[in-house]
Amino acid sequence: MFRIISICLSLLILSVICLPLSAEVSLDMVAAAWLFDGDAGDFSGNGYDGELQGGSFVDGKFGQAIQLNGSNEWVNIPTRIGSFEEITFTHWVKAAGRVGGWRVFFNNNGWKAGDIHYQLHPNNKVEFSINGNSGGNDSFADFAFTNEQLDKWVHVATVYSASAKKIRFYINGELDAERDWGGNPGVLDPGRIGDWGGSRQWQGMLDEFIIFDTALEEGQVMDVMDNGLETTATAVDPKAKLATTWGSLKK
């Protein structure tokens, strides 16, 4: 009996030790965040407040969301955010039109070396671009925003690591595609949410638009998706933050 109990305890301890650690999300992982709860302020406190060019605030996934008309409304981000070896975008979107056309999430103004353009391509797939990146400027998700997704909330997360030369796309918290791609850091200079140079406007709603300066794990993506940044980030003691790297991503 003692031998059986010892074996069972050993197996229990081993199973606990082998459990994968899922790092918590803390606010100091956030480069910029626009929750669109009645304004375009940067929730991160880093000062990247947006400037509204039209748009209206409506009920969103968490609190309010911004609604853009697809023609002459967007959010200006007038300040350079920085250069990123690792970066994650997470956001809720509800497309209302422009299927088969360019639809911008966040594009730098212009298109110079290092610039990030993040949008829906006319093939209706999420496109993440870094000008001059190794292996080509662009990488694509598999999921397509067709007529079937109109007027439905969809959560999108895009995770890029220059050092690992990897990009991952998540749709509604689940891995959609993983690519070997890149190697160059991406730059976020002044740009726009929902527009590029007076074209490619987003038509529909955007909510919880967050940029992290690290490569989030799948569990972290789901946490932000399910609970919203305000609840997820403020529930974490910053002193207990665990460092996150691409190598710690769940298999």
Query: What is the fold, at CATH topology level, of the domain defined by 43-232?
Result: Jelly Rolls (2.60.120)
Half-sphere exposure for 206 (CA within 13 Å, toward CB): 30
CA distance to 2, 15, 17, 19, per residue, from 9 (Å): 11, 10, 12, 16
Q: Where are the domains of the chain?
A: 43-232
| Mean pLDDT value across residues 31-46 | 97
The residue among 128, 115, 126, 135 whose CA lies nearest residue 190 is 115
Whether the CB-CB separation of 93 and 205 falls below 8 Å is answered with yes
| Mean pLDDT value across residues 199-220 | 98
DSSP structure class, residue 196 = B
How confident is the model at residue 233, as a pLDDT?
A: 83
DSSP structure class, residue 229 = H
In which residue are the tokens 């056309």 written? 101
| Of residues 73 and 1, more confidently modeled | 73
How confident is the model at residue 234, as a pLDDT?
A: 65
Q: How confident is the model at residue 23 (pLDDT cuts 50, 70, 90)?
A: confident
pLDDT digit string, tens, across residues 76-121: 999 999 999 999 999 999 999 999 999 999 999 999 999 999 999 9
pLDDT digit string, tens, across residues 117-147: 999 999 999 999 999 999 999 999 999 999 9
Q: Can you tell me the distance from the alpha carbon of 47 to that of 185, in angstroms, rounded to the nearest whole number?
A: 22
The residue among 158, 131, 133 whose CA lies nearest residue 143 is 158
How confident is the model at residue 238, as a pLDDT?
A: 40
* Strand, helix or coil for residue 198: coil
Q: What is the pTM of this model?
A: 0.86
Q: Can you tell me the distance from the alpha carbon of 215 to that of 224, in angstroms, rounded to the nearest whole number?
A: 13
How confident is the model at residue 134, as a pLDDT?
A: 92
Phi, psi dihedrals of residue 210, rounded to the nearest 5°? -125, 140
